[in-house]
Structure 1
Amino acid sequence: MSAKSTKTVLPAVAMTAVSMVLTLAVVVMWLGTAVPWLVAVVVGLGIDGGWLATLAYERRLAAQGDHNRVVTAVGWFFGLIASGVLVAHALTAQTSAHAWLAVAWLPIAAKALWLVHGLWERTALTPMALDAIRGIQQEARDEAAVARARLRSEATSEETRLTAVTSAGARVARVQAKTAKSLAGAWSTLEEARQGEDTSRALTSVTSRVTPGVTPWELPVWGPVEPVTVLSLESAPALTDAALDALVEEIRTSETPALSYREMAKRFRAAGHSASEVRLRAAWNRVTAVA
């Protein structure tokens, strides 16, 4: 029996011994006046013996990992008889009735302690298993602590990054505001110069000598000027569905693996082709359905 097991078995043994002694004494004192004392001793030993026999059998079954409800019921029956004898003696005693009544619960308490000891034995673990459990718990605590530290570090880094980005954004906003203010002042100065009559005559006199025929505030053009035709996507002929499908398939399969719709659409328009989003998506669905 291990040292830890004695913590539960010794109280049960001690209370059982006290209960048996009290039961035997009460039976002898109670029946000693009515029957010979030897008969009273036999009756008391019979109650204690039956209780002890059932208890021993219960312990044997528990050692084998078994359990029998009949034996347990018989053991509780003998315990109740012992308690009943003590209660009856306390109620009929002329003196010290309260003291006898106070110890009448000892047999039931002894049975309860044996029940607790049995539960302890069924749930007890070996030192190796306990060490393994402690190791697993410690490992879980370590992992949780590391995870908490990592989260705190990431939160601190993210906070620092956001602070830096916010500060940089504020600086950019200040520079943009300052630049906008300077530009607004420059445009205001130019507008005032343009509206001034003296400035207009001075500019006219200068530009008329340098570039005859140029009105004030028009930049002179050096060299020949040729009008450039403005390309209009709307004036270009629209692609037919077959041509559009062929272009979509060619661009989609231009790389391996095949491009996604977003990449295909980007390259389609970068190549100078024109099609509405609805037609382009319909062509993609037709091509992928065939594929």
Structure 2
Amino acid sequence: MARPTALPAVAVTAVSLVLTLAVVVMWLGAAMPWPVALVVGLGIDGGWLATLAYERRLAAQGDHSTAVTVVGWSFGLVATGVLVAHALTVEADTGAWLAVSWLPLAAKALWLVHGMWERTALTPSALGAIRGIQQDARDTAAVARARLRAEAVTEETRLTAVTVAGARVARVQARTAATLAGAWSTLEDARQGEGTGRALTSVTTPVTPGVTPGVTPRWELPVWGPVEPVSALALESAPALTDAQLDELVEEIRDSRTPPLSYREMATRFRTAGHAASEVRLRAAWKRVVA
């Protein structure tokens, strides 16, 4: 029996039975012999207890009887009616008797609550399993929240580092661009300046081929681009090759590897070997060999 709901129901039932029996004996004792009034009181209480015991037995078996429930509530209403009638007929303490006249119905309501408690009650093992499941869910949720917070902090730190590094790179690029812009502006001013051009032309005239008298050559800035290293000494000392010799060397260098070398690789190996030929002749020889 579940004590949280059974003990209040038992206590109110006992008080209600005693109160009903006392009221019946006092109220009907003046109109009939008291043993008869006692029998009437015991009959009301006995019928109520009998139906209550039957209801409890059916509830223990997981069953229910509407007829027994109706009879039990009928006995409760009879007991309540007796108490209310007695309270209304007495000349003194009417309010007090009315205040306790609801105890039979209260006892029936408490037994109804106790029955609902029993139908929904679980065993200690089931309650322990439920508590374990709830604790696991709380633990999982706490771990997930901690993981999310840690990932958020890590991502925030990474973004901050990337932002700072990007800002530093942008500042360096801006300074570099400003420096390059200033340098190119200075070079452009030097190229466009007439006095600077005449000074540079006068310096380079003795070593500048093709200078026509009376015509002032224009000074041009050099253009930088990708170049291939060429040995100056080899170019000066290498003898001029005929077209046949050039074709033979190009074919030999091209076919020295499998698959054959590309033109750029062949040209690099040709000049590294110390041979001399202009780019036009070398490319023409390449075309003849490939054809």
Q: Taking structure 1 as the reference length, what is the TM-score of the superposition? A: 0.72
1:125 aligns with 2:119: no
SS of alignment partner, residue 40 of structure 1: helix
Gapped regions of structure 1 (runs ≥ 5): 227-291
Match of 2:173 in 1: 176
Distance of 1:40 and 1:117 partners within structure 2 = 32
Per-residue deviation at 1:23? 0.8
State the Cα deviation string for residues 124-177 of structure 1 (Å, max 9, x = none).
111111111111111111111110110001000000000010001000100010
Distance of 1:170 and 1:129 partners within structure 2 = 61
Match of 2:69 in 1: 72
Question: Are the aligned partners of 1:207 and 1:215 in contact in 2 as well (CA < 8 Å)?
Answer: no
Match of 1:245 in 2: none
| C-alpha spacing 1:195/1:32, structure 2 compared with 1 (3 Å) | same
State the Cα deviation string for residues 94-130 of structure 1 (Å, max 9, x = none).
1111110110111111111111111111111111111
Match of 1:236 in 2: none
Match of 2:144 in 1: 147
Question: Are the aligned partners of 1:211 and 1:220 in contact in 2 as well (CA < 8 Å)?
Answer: no
Task: Supply the AA of the counterpart residue of 2:93.
Answer: S
Question: Are the aligned partners of 1:54 and 1:74 in contact in 2 as well (CA < 8 Å)?
Answer: yes
Match of 2:259 in 1: none
SS of alignment partner, residue 178 of structure 1: helix
Match of 1:85 in 2: 82
Per-residue deviation at 1:207? 4.1
Distance of 2:54 and 2:12 partners within structure 1 = 18
Distance of 1:90 and 1:210 partners within structure 2 = 142
- Picking from 105, 109, 134, the partner of 2:106 is 109
Question: Are the aligned partners of 2:24 and 2:38 in contact in 1 as well (CA < 8 Å)?
Answer: yes
Equivalent residues, number: 225
Q: CA RMSD in A?
A: 2.3
| C-alpha spacing 1:220/1:102, structure 2 compared with 1 (3 Å) | closer
Q: Taking structure 2 as the reference length, what is the TM-score of the superposition? A: 0.72
Task: Supply the AA of the counterpart residue of 1:168.
Answer: A
SS of alignment partner, residue 152 of structure 2: helix
Distance of 1:95 and 1:135 partners within structure 2 = 60
State the Cα deviation string for residues 230-273 of structure 1 (Å, max 9, x = none).
xxxxxxxxxxxxxxxxxxxxxxxxxxxxxxxxxxxxxxxxxxxx
SS of alignment partner, residue 209 of structure 2: coil
Per-residue deviation at 1:179? 0.5
Distance of 2:200 and 2:38 partners within structure 1 = 143
Question: Are the aligned partners of 2:191 and 2:221 in contact in 1 as well (CA < 8 Å)?
Answer: no
| C-alpha spacing 1:43/1:199, structure 2 compared with 1 (3 Å) | same
Match of 2:219 in 1: 216
State the identity %: 75
Match of 2:131 in 1: 134
Gapped regions of structure 2 (runs ≥ 5): 211-216, 228-276, 281-291
